[in-house]
Amino acid sequence: MKKNILPLNSSKTEALLVGTPHQVQHFPITHLTITGQKISLSSSISNLGIRFDPSLTFGDHTSSLQKLQVHPEQCCQDPDESVEISPYHPILASLRWLPIS
């Protein structure tokens, strides 16, 4: 890293030990030292919006996606009712879940 003059920002750097649950629990290290900076091992890390866990099961990622999931019945409205348009209306219209006028 010093050769390319790229500094390590230890406050933004995450490390993850990947393996079976048995391997991860019994591995003797708790951190890595890179260019003299201590990087603690995390229980899960995020990269480009995807959550990774030590067993690569993506359990953290799928549960975070389920929290964000919007069901069409929560934001669609009866076209006969004259009520305010949901903030999700443009998205649903682009997905062709609503009639396009």
In this predicted model, what pLDDT tens digit does every residue of 31-78 receive, in sequence order?
888 888 888 888 888 888 888 888 888 877 777 776 766 665 555 555
Do residues 41 and 6 both lie within one domain?
Answer: yes
More confident residue, 37 or 81: 37
Q: Which domain holds residue 91?
A: 70-101
Percentage above 70 pLDDT, the chain: 69
90 and 50 fall within a common domain: no
Residues 33 and 81 in one domain: no
For residue 83, pLDDT beyond 70: no
Residue 57 sits in the same domain as residue 80: no
Do 4 and 43 fall within a single domain? Answer: yes
- 85 close to 78: Cβ distance less than 8 angstroms: no
- What is the model's pLDDT at position 59? 79
The answer on 10 and 39 residing in a single domain is: yes
DSSP string, the chain: -TTTT----TTT--B---S-HHHHHT---SEEEETTEEEEBPS-EEETTEEE-TT---HHHHHHHHHH---HHHH---TTS--PPPTTHHHHHHTTSS---
- Provide the token pair at 44: 């899960």
Backbone φ and ψ of 60, nearest 5°:
-65, -40
Asked whether residue 45 falls in the same domain as residue 85, the answer is no
Q: How many domains does the chain have?
A: 2
